[in-house]
Structure 1
Amino acid sequence: MLFSIVVPVYNVEKYLEECLNSIIKQILQISESCEIILVNDGSTDSSGEICNRYNAMYPNIVKVFHNSNHGLLMTRRFGYKKAKGEYIVNCDSDDVLESDFFKSLVETIKEYSRPDMIIFNQYLYDGQDKKVAFDNILSKKNVSVVSKEDVLRQFLMGNSLVSICGAVYKRTCIDIDKNYLMYAHVSNGEDSLQKIELFDYAETFVYLNKALYNYRMGSGMTTKFDANYYGSFKVVFKEIIKRKEKWNLPDFEYLLSIKVLSTVGRAITQTRLKRWKNYNDHKKYLQKIRRDDILNEYIVNVNVIKKQIQKSHFVFLILLEKHLYCIIIVLLNLKNLSEKIGMGK
């Protein structure tokens, strides 16, 4: 069996059929054998019923597991343990695969001697229109073999390689017995955690400079505040730090500074999405981040990595370094006000 498509399912009755149809239509057309593993994570809507219906229609392809709610990370890990395919495909249950997803991957696998990981581009999708999120990530060529060092560097420097759905990889790259219970509380950064594991085992990489996956917008940190956002990513930072010698990147500290400080910049920006009770509550949250040990180690490099992060993040980091919380909060409030005025036009 070539592909195991792992689909975590939780309260997505509105989108699940579109997702499954985008997968099934294709795998019925290719000669390679595939399986779809649907893991219902305690859905309270009709998602579980939809899973059962597709299992009844395609019993040789669709496998369904109904669990109590464990969260996205543990649900994916459960799916991996049930997988039998040579390659793992991750698809979120509200997202959609491009119509040539499997055809493109099969061709790449055969042409490039079954690489450990194939990385591809993604679209941002709103249900109708879509735009490329990233392209030319690792090369400007249509398809190319890329080095592990280049992949690791890009992973640390930006967000283009973070998504677990933006690559397929051999099942042998997964430490299937690794206990992720200690990370069950992580509300952000679960993709990064699993990518770190994959990079531990994958050695051969191919980059397909083509958008094959549609990521549905309208959820995540762009629309809501998560008080544990930075704390979740701190778990990721600690795991990366453990790999310093193993990854053996000559400018590891510089690259990790980019990763840490860009994340802090996003954490600060995200606070504007919360309706704070008062100024002091907002300030206390920012102070908590400022006191963090990992931030304090890397914020000294903020001017060194200035060109590698967003300008607004750089400004907020400078203000945070100097404990100028009032100015940060004023700027965030002004941003909210300008958006409200713009929407009112």
Structure 2
Amino acid sequence: MVGEKSGKVTRFAVIPRDGIIIKLFSVIIAAYNVESYLDEALESLLNQNLNFTRYIEIIIVNDGSQDSTLLIANEWSVRYPNNIKVIDQENSGVSSARNAGLKIANGRYVNFMDGDDKLENNVLLEIKMFFERNANIKIAKIPLKLFEAKTGPHGLNKVFTKPEEIVNIEKSPNKIFAHIASTFILREVLINNRLNFEVGRKYGEDLALVAKLVENEKQFGLINNVYYMYRARNAADSAMDSSRSNPETYIPNAEMMIQLIQQHLHTDKKIDKWLQTLIMYDLAWKIKRNELPFEADEQWYEKYLEKVTDILQFIDDDVIDSQSHIKWIEKEAIKSIKYSGKWPDYKKISATQL
């Protein structure tokens, strides 16, 4: 693909490479037991206000599904053999599936849409026009809109304050937001920097990759008023739902955050505000509640508390206070953990703040 400049606008032309037609977009779908949702996801891509045949490649990676996901994917591939590819692999996790899709992707820009979500019809056209106007920007994000069990805008959308914005993360660290499925990335950025998803991680794979992307690029676009449709399932069986109720995800996720901190630690033993914000947003979902949705032994709680306390030593109080998705008492509880190294007494915190 090459860029044809017209004034200040770069227009992308699709050209063959080694006999392969290069698409503008490669949408990589890691699919695990999504038979009830996959048709809807694919229809949202087929119905984009953009020529599907010319511009869009879909790579469905069946990650060892136990249902009819693979059958549905293959049926779509037969219908659109020049646009839809299917990879079938043993269950290895979403990171492995996304990496497998990226290896065979040919699009100029890649997106990692989840198999139970969808895109509004005008998304890819708006993304295309954004990149044409801003040829030096290599990453773009769009807001999320919930549907099914919950409806309305996602809490992450607070970073979208303008119709369109170029964010320099060092100047606006509060604009960081870790949701890779609503992000569109120049494929060369991933390939040239050898960036991929960490295999084996049950939760937090988005966070780790976003940190690497931001460290490399420092800037990205925010495009408002076109939406990634995020399914809040009626059946609480999504990867996000299961991760919050599975104790096996908590400590590895905390260890991943500690690893990120160590990788980005400056000589003054601090990390950048954007990384603090990124980590704090994710961590708050885990520790904001006064009761975890599972039972674990005392040794587990002690180990997790130790990890969380270590992380919070690198998070400034103003970053904790800036988290809009948690209540003030939860912010005070998190600061209590930071300074005491103990699980907080919510009643005591409430009394001292009144």
Instruction: Please confirm whether the aligned pair reaches a TM-score higher than 0.5, indicating the same fold.
Output: yes
Pair 1:200–1:305, CA change in 2 (3 A): closer
Which amino acid in 2 is paired with 1:19? A
Q: Indicate the residue corresponding to 1:146 in structure 2.
A: 167
CA contact (8 A) 2:289 2:330 kept: no
Instruction: Describe the superposition over 1:254-297 as per-residue Cα deviations: whole angstroms up to 9, x where unpaired.
Output: 555555555444323467353427xxx3x5433222223x7336
Q: Which residue of 2 aligns with 1:317?
A: 334
Q: How many pairs were matched up?
A: 317
Q: In structure 1, which of residues 182, 192, 215 is the aligned counterpart of residue 230 of structure 2?
A: 215
Query: What is the aligned partner in structure 2 of residue 43 from structure 1?
Result: 65
Tell me if the contact between 1:123 and 1:214 (Cα under 8 Å) persists in the aligned partners.
Answer: yes
Q: CA deviation at 1:241?
A: 3.6
Indicate whether 1:274 and 2:293 are aligned.
yes
2:317 matches 1:295: no
1:62 equivalent to 2:84? Answer: yes
Using the alignment, how far apart are the partners of 1:35 and 1:52 within structure 2? 15
Q: Give 2:24's aligned residue.
A: 2
What is the letter of the counterpart of residue 215 of structure 1?
Y
Give 1:194 deviation, angstroms. 1.4
Change (3 A) 1:49 1:126: same
Structure with the larger helix share: 1
Pairing 1:171–2:181 present: no
Q: 1:213 to 1:148 in 2, by over 3 A?
A: same
Letter in 2 for 1:198: L
CA contact (8 A) 1:4 1:85 kept: yes
The 1-side partners of 2:167 and 2:195 are apart by: 30
Q: 1:314 to 1:263 in 2, by over 3 A?
A: same
SS at match of 2:178: coil
- Classify 1:30/1:144 alpha carbon distance in 2 versus 1 (closer, same or farther; 3 Å): farther
Task: Give the partner amino acid of 2:133.
Answer: E
Unaligned ranges ≥5, structure 1: 156-160, 332-345
1:276–1:13: structure 2 CA closer, same or farther, 3 Å change rule?
Answer: same
Label 1:297 to 1:36 Cα distance change in 2 as closer, same or farther (>3 A): closer
Give 5+ residue unaligned stretches, structure 2. Answer: 1-22, 350-354
Partner of 2:74: 52
2:97 to 68, 72, 75: 75
Q: How do 1:103-142 residues align onto structure 2 when only pairs under 5 Å count?
A: 103-113=125-135, 115-126=137-148, 129-135=151-157, 137=159, 140-142=161-163
Which residue, 197, 201, 207 being the options, matches 2:216?
201
Contact 2:264 2:271 in 1 (8 A): no
How far apart are residue 70 of structure 1 and its match? Answer: 0.7
**Equivalent of 1:162 in 178, 181, 184:** 178
User: How far apart are residue 113 of structure 1 and its match?
Assistant: 2.4
Q: 223-232 vs 18-27, which deviates more?
A: 223-232
Q: What is the TM-score when the length of structure 2 is the normalising length?
A: 0.76
User: What's the C-alpha RMSD, in Å, of the aligned pairs?
Assistant: 3.5
Shift, 1:176, TM fit: 6.8
Counterpart of 2:264 in structure 1 is 243
Instruction: Kindly indicate whether the alpha-carbon contact (under 8 Å) linking 1:261 and 1:302 is maintained by their aligned counterparts in 2.
Output: no
Q: Which amino acid aligns with 1:214?
A: M
TM-score normalised to the size of structure 1? 0.78
Q: Post-superposition shift, 1:141?
A: 2.4
Aligned to 1:84: 106
Deviation string, structure 1 residues 194-223 (Cα, Å, up to 9, x no partner) = 112222433552221224201111434556
The 8 Å contact of residues 162 and 195 in structure 1, kept in 2 or not, is answered as yes
Letter in 2 for 1:285: W
Q: CA deviation at 1:178?
A: 4.3
CA-CA distance at 1:177 after TM superposition? 8.1
Q: CA deviation at 1:191?
A: 0.5
Larger displacement relative to structure 2 (218-227 or 48-57) = 218-227
In 1, Cα distance between the equivalents of 2:77 and 2:310?
52
